[in-house]
Homo-oligomer: A and B are copies of this chain.
Amino acid sequence: MNNKYQHIQEAAYQANMQLPKLGLVLFTFGNVSASDNALGVFAIKPSGVPYDELSPAKMVIVDFEGKTVEGSLRPSSDTLTHAVLYKHWPHIGGIVHTHSTYATAWAQSQRSIPNYGTTHADHTTVDIPCAPPMSDAMIAGDYEYETGFQIMNCLAEKGLSYQEVEMILVGNHAPFTWGKTPDKAVYNSAVLETVAQMAYLTEQINKEAPRLKDALIKKHFERKHGPNSYYGQ
């Protein structure tokens, strides 16, 4: 059988299956997609199907307008958010949405996560942004589609590129992360959850805890990223 989408179905399946292993989802509260930007489509988890009933073939193929291209199941209810981001961000290959406990608590608190240490700075130089809850008009309109714009608008207002920070909190809702591959996006979700827990504990231990200073932020980020990075092989 010839299936030109098999590679992204396989990638999306493998990435989705990592979420329960990493303790990032309860039941079906999460979804991962994998895109093929040349074909202009992505594979995404079907809505509400338990993880142990998933298979690569069940991943639904959707185009960047949010239209189902292939698959008999209904795609994740968050599909339009994924579609909007893929359409506008040409350099990503995977998106993850979870309701992981600590990141969701920060989203519910409507606060960006302050950069308190090198665990955070190893992954991004800035506070992890929290987009404000949407306007009532946006919510009543095409909700998931507007969620994508809310994410992009938040980055734009803060002057951030989606390549500088690969994670965001949507206020009152929960986190989204992305990356060049679905695996990188899942990795970012796990990092975000850990950073969110550490920041919460930091404030509990010292209400006056200072932000990481600029020199350390720069140093740690450059260890892992950019032309002079020296982390990894």
Contacts and interface: CB of A to CB of B under 8 A. Distances in A.
Interface of A: 26-27, 29, 46-49, 73-74, 77, 99, 101-102, 104-111, 116-119, 133-134, 136, 139-140, 143, 172-174, 187, 190-191, 194, 197-206, 209-210, 212-213, 215-216, 219, 223, 230-233
A111 B205 contact: yes
B216 A133 contact: yes
Nearest to A193: B26
A200 B191 contact: no
- Would you list the 8 A-B pairs with minimal beta carbon distance, nearest first? A48-B232, A105-B201, A109-B206, A108-B117, A109-B205, A108-B202, A136-B215, A139-B215
Contact of A172 (B101, B201, B216, B231): B216
16 contacts: A27-B187, A27-B190, A47-B230, A47-B233, A49-B233, A101-B201, A105-B201, A105-B204, A106-B205, A108-B117, A108-B209, A116-B172, A117-B172, A117-B173, A133-B212, A139-B215
